[in-house]
Structure 1
């Protein structure tokens, strides 16, 4: 939510100071995303599956697509997560 609010602040920034403030808010929101995804995994999965779930989230977060093919990893990460969690 903070990321979206920061983005809106940036979009309607009347001057540089407000733009920088919006970018700071976006940075706080972006920093919270990985932590919140791991919290969601621990809340949703039973204790014996949490390690696998956290591993999938960490692997997906660490697998950045190459700059010339941004959509290749975006298509394969959800499939990989389903396969790993189905066989865990």
Structure 2
């Protein structure tokens, strides 16, 4: 598998994950705390300021690699397994129809 194919597979997987989190956010049975945590993760990703400024060597760049996955992990822990699986199935079926 070449580099271009690996990159395309990674981009496809990223697109699928974004669609999964969007489906979780829209689902009426998703707990409010999980929705708040998902919005916090998105906000931290796109807002121009950080809790730890990027000009601090190493730690400044690594805070996004710790905080965003932690928020996503906590959100997924709050959401029931059957609801996560239903949203995952919904995203996969939408991808298969394309």
Range of TM-score over shorter length: 0.3 to 0.5
Structure 1 or 2, whichever has the larger Rg, is 1
TM-score of the aligned structures, taking structure 1 as reference length: 0.41
Task: Name the structure, 1 or 2, with higher relative contact order (CA <8 Å, separation 6+).
Answer: 2
Higher helix share: 1
What TM-score do the two structures reach when normalised by structure 2? 0.39
